[in-house]
Each structure stands twice: as structure tokens, then as C-alpha cells.
């Protein structure tokens, strides 16, 4: 498929949902991607399996706070400078771009850079959602090394980090971002197309488009014009008698079919923001059910991203599940930092990639990695037994 300006709107909305309340505000990088597509044309989205297995893939992500990233959005020359440096380090050309984090602002960033560089964008990413730490990605779980990682700012100041594990890369990169003024672009966990096909989360660009489109339909009741984002081939519709899909293509199709379900329609009854001694923070949002959900109370907690939704002390959803609050009036996801009293929202949840529910995935990015203890087992792929029936967004209650 191709992402043009029309499809980009759905894609950005889907990225905001997959940000799980975090990942940085999408608005700034959406504008950057929209401008890049206007100047350079639509972006071709491809499966990693369609490229030569040894082709070099350049993962991309922004480091730093979302507030700084919104003010320092880079320039036209930034993509080419980073690509040239990556090619010098590896001694061969970059064949494709991949988002290091589909959730939040980094999804649209990868679209903008693919457009500027004239390269295809992989229908895959390194997380399948947003996480706060750079080492909280599926490539880390697969044993892919972080380096040589190339970090640069918009002025062209560049450094290479190599021969480190994920934990030390996170520490060194964050320190470098501070020196660079609070924002940098990184191409880390370098890999081939074959490795991307084997280890990255497949189909997440298609999934984001499908999520965004579904949310738009819940508001205006129509599908609009989305021809440029209609999946074809492996991720598209399949009729009876179609040949079996490869594992990579099946994963893309599965991702496209993973859509959020509605757990609650509610009014924000209270918002409490707390700062911890280590500089981190917690946001607690109390949701009071309205309409057919009157009488229900759900507490949603955010630590960078929304990490748990509790009803009667039991988790409706628990990280690594994706948890999102969507404005009932606009259909737009609401970042955790922007939740306010009185807002009418819909609580949406959806499962993350299956690898996040393995013992290794839970150790890296499960409840205890966020300081959540004593909540019991993570509901398998986001579905807790005994939960109230889930509804697709916009379905009749």
C-alpha cells in the first residue's frame, strides 16, 4: 500500500492509540510527515519479506521529552545526514526505513523520513506500541544488539554508540540527549530485512491505519475516502481457497485485524498527578461510567504511558496491553498528560504483540517493570476472564 496525505490522518490517529497515552504528541510529527508527503509524494509501505534478506534497514526514533520534540522538529536535511552516516558505519546502502516505535510521534516521523529519502517504509516496527525505554523493544528480546547506534541532532552533531547491551545503551543515549539539548534522532538496533521479517512486530503500519479509520467512523458514521490506505496483497482481504500465507504475511494480517475494544464510556471524575523522588511521575484518572455504564468506576494509572485500568480492584487491562482514552466527541486519543476533569471519554484496550506476553517480554515490559506489584497474572493477550463484554469502538451498548 501507499500512505498519502489522506491515509496519513488515519495512520496518525492509530499511532496515538498505540501510544497508550504516551509516546509523545503526534500532532508535530504528523505536520512534518504531511509536508514531506506533499513535497516528495506518497510513501510505499512494504513487508520486510519482499526485500532481499541482507538488505540494510534503518530503524528511526526520536529521543527526548515530547515537549522539546514538538519545538525542535528538525529540517529537510536531517534525514539524509543520518542516512549517510549510517551507510558509512555499515559500508552499504540503506534499503528501507522502519519505525523504532509505532506508538506516538515516532510513527509519523518514520513516514516523513521515508518520504524525504525516497525509501520504502517497512510495515513493521520494534515495539508494536510505545514504551518509555529504548531497550523495551522486541529486537532486544530477539538478541539483536543496539549498536552500532547513530545519534544526531538537527545541527548535524553526531555520535556512535557501540559494544553495549540494551541497559547501558539506554543510559548512554539518555546522557547524550541531555548534552544535545533534550532532543536527538537515533538509528539503533540496526538490522537486515531478514532480521526484521523474523523479529520485528509485523503489520503495525497497516494496523495503525485500520485503527485510525475505525475511530473516524465512530464519529462521523462514514468510512470517508481511504483508497490510498486500502491494504492489498498479504495484508488485504482473502477469499476461500486462497493459498496459505507465509508466517510474516500472516503476522501482518493478524496485526491489521487487531482493533481496540471499548471497555467503558465515562466522564473523567478526577485527575491526580504525583511526582516521585526519582523524577518520574504517576497520573491517576478516575472514570465514572455514563449512559449504559452508569454506576461503574474505573481507575486508570499512567507512568509515561497508561499501564493499568482497574475496576473493583481487578485489572480490566494491564501493561503490556495497550490502554487508550478517546474523546467521545472527536474520536481523537487523549494523551495522559492532557486528560482533564469533565472530559467524556471511551476507554479502549487491545493486546500488544504476543511476544510481550512471554516470560521474557513480561520481565522487560510487564507490570513489575513499571513498579506494579500484586495485581496477579497479566490477562492473556489483554482478555481477562470475567471482564464485562467488550465492544468495538462505536458499537451499540
Cβ atoms of 99 and 59 within 8 Å: the answer is yes
Question: Residue 270 and residue 292: Cα distance in Å, rounded?
Answer: 20
Q: The whole model's pTM is what?
A: 0.88
Find where cell 552500532 sits: 148
Please report, for residues 101, 263, 264, 389, the alpha-carbon distance to residue 294 in angstroms, rounded to integers and kept in the order given: 36, 13, 10, 15
pLDDT at position 269, please?
Answer: 98
Q: What is the pLDDT of residue 250?
A: 63
CA atoms within 13 A on the CB side of 375: 24
| Predicted pLDDT of residue 384 | 39
What is the rounded CA–CA span in Å between residue 326 and residue 86?
38
Residue 247: all three cell numbers together: 508466517
| End-to-end CA, the chain | 34
Residue 46 has a pLDDT of 98
Report DSSP state, residue 344.
E
Burial 13-26 (b: 16+ CB within 10 A, else e): bbbbbbbbbbbbbb
Backbone angles phi, psi at 18, to 5 degrees: -65, -15
d(CA 205, CA 122): 8
Residue 151 DSSP symbol: E
In whole angstroms, give the CA distance from residue 117 to residue 136: 27
pLDDT of residue 230: 34
Q: Name the one residue in this structure whose C-alpha cell is 518520504.
A: 115
Give pLDDT, residue 276: 76
Angle between helical axes of 5-18 and 204-220 (0-180°, round to 10): 100
pLDDT in tens, the chain (397 residues): 999 999 999 999 999 999 999 999 899 899 999 999 999 999 999 999 999 999 999 999 999 877 777 677 777 889 999 999 999 999 999 999 999 999 999 999 999 999 999 999 999 999 999 999 999 999 999 999 999 999 999 889 999 999 999 999 999 999 999 999 999 999 999 999 999 999 999 999 999 999 999 999 887 654 333 323 333 333 344 444 545 555 556 666 666 668 999 999 999 999 999 987 766 789 999 999 999 999 999 999 999 999 999 999 999 999 999 999 999 999 999 999 999 999 999 999 999 999 999 999 999 999 999 999 888 766 654 443 333 334 444 443 3
pLDDT of residue 223: 38
Give the distance between the most distant pair of CA atoms in the chain. Answer: 62
Q: What is the per-residue pLDDT for 244?
A: 57
**In this structure, is the dihedral angle defined by the CA atoms of residues 263, 204, 177 and 149, taken in order, positive or negative?**
positive
Residue 380 is predicted with a pLDDT of 53
**Partners of 264 in the β-ladder:** 347
Amino acid at each position: 500500500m501507499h500512505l498519502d496525505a489522506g491515509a496519513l490522518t488515519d495512520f496518525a490517529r492509530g499511532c496515538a492509540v498505540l501510544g497508550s497515552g504516551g509516546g509523545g504528541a503526534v500532532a508535530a510529527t504528523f505536520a512534518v510527515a504531511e509536508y514531506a508527503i506533499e513535497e516528495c509524494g506518497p510513501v510505499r509501505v512494504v513487508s520486510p519479506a519482499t526485500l532481499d534478506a541482507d538488505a540494510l534497514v534503518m530503524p528511526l526514533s526520536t529521543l527526548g521529552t515530547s515537549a522539546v520534540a514538538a519545538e525542535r522538529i528538525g529540517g529537510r536535511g536531517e534525514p539524509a545526514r543520518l542516512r549517510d552516516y549510517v551507510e558509512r558505519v555499515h559500508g552499504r546502502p540503506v534499503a528501507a526505513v522502519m519505525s523504532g516505535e509505532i506508538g506516538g510521534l515516532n510513527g509519523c516521523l518514520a513516514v516523513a523520513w521515508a518520504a524525504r529519502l525516497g525509501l520504502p517504509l517497512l510495515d513493521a516496527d520494534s515495539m508494536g506500541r510505545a514504551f518509555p525505554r529504548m531497550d523495551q523493544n522486541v529486537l532486544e528480546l530477539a538478541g539483536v544488539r543496539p549498536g552500532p547506534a547513530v545519534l544526531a541532532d538537527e545541527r548535524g552533531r553526531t555520535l556512535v554508540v557501540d559494544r553495549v547491551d540494551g541497559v547501558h545503551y539506554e543510559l548512554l543515549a539518555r546522557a547524550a540527549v541531555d548534552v544535545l539539548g533534550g532532543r536527538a534522532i537515533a538509528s539503533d538496533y540496526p538490522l537486515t530485512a531478514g532480521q526484521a521479517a523474523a523479529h520485528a512486530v509485523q503489520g503495525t503500519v497497516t494496523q495503525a491505519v485500520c485503527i485510525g479509520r475505525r475511530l473516524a467512523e465512530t464519529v462521523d458514521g462514514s468510512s470517508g475516502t481511504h483508497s490510498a490506505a486500502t491494504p492489498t496483497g498479504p495484508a488485504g482481504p482473502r477469499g476461500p481457497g486462497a493459498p496459505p500465507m507465509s508466517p510474516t504475511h500472516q503476522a501482518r494480517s493478524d496485526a491489521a485485524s487487531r482493533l481496540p475494544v471499548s471497555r467503558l464510556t465515562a466522564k473523567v471524575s478526577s485527575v491526580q498527578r504525583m511526582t516521585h523522588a526519582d523524577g518520574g511521575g504517576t497520573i491517576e484518572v478516575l472514570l465514572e461510567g455514563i449512559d449504559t455504564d452508569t454506576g461503574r468506576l474505573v481507575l486508570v494509572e499512567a507512568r509515561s504511558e497508561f499501564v493499568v485500568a482497574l475496576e473493583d480492584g481487578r485489572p480490566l487491562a494491564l501493561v503490556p496491553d495497550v490502554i487508550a482514552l478517546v474523546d467521545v466527541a472527536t474520536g481523537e486519543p487523549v494523551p495522559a498528560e492532557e486528560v482533564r476533569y469533565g472530559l467524556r471519554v471511551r476507554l479502549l484496550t487491545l493486546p500488544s504483540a504476543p511476544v510481550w506476553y512471554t516470560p521474557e517480554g513480561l520481565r522487560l515490559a510487564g507490570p513489575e517493570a513499571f513498579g506494579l506489584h500484586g495485581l496477579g497474572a497479566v490477562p492473556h493477550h489483554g482478555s481477562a476472564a470475567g471482564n464485562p463484554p467488550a465492544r468495538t469502538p462505536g458499537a451499540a451498548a
